[in-house]
Amino acid sequence: MRIRIGAQTFTATLFDNPTTTRLKTMLPLTLDMSELNGNEKYFHFSTNLPTDASKPGTIKAGDLMLWGDNSLVLFYKTFPTAYSYTKLGRIENPSELSSAVGSGNVKVTFELE
């Protein structure tokens, strides 16, 4: 998957699960993602996706996950968590992700390669 933020493009590897299968049918998507907690951008879908949530313990910069059954979350910092998420995929080289997303809301395009 390609994730475009402004002039930067990131490549993400998607996991093979029912949630990503459903997400792929919705692509391409350009979403206005909201800032939360200084470590993530999120978007609430109007429809629910299938879930298989687990507690990752540590979120890593570049993780793409679903919180609940309709909140797409792109994490741009690494930190410990007690929350449960359905894992969708991971950006392969997230070193420039934090600067690309900035500190406020951001427009992000998700598309298959």
List, for residues 103-113, the tens digit of each pLDDT value: 999 999 999 98
- What confidence tens digit (pLDDT) does each residue in 42-92 have? 999 999 999 999 999 999 999 999 999 999 999 999 999 999 999 999 999
Q: What is the pTM of this model?
A: 0.96
| pLDDT tier, 19 (very low <50, low <70, confident <90, very high otherwise) | very high
What pLDDT does 109 receive? 98
Over the chain, what HEC string results? CEEEECCEEEEEEECCCHHHHHHHHHCCEEEEEEEECCCEEEEECCCCCCCCCECCCEECCCEEEEECCCEEEEECCCEECCCCEEEEEEECCHHHHHHHHCCCCEEEEEECC
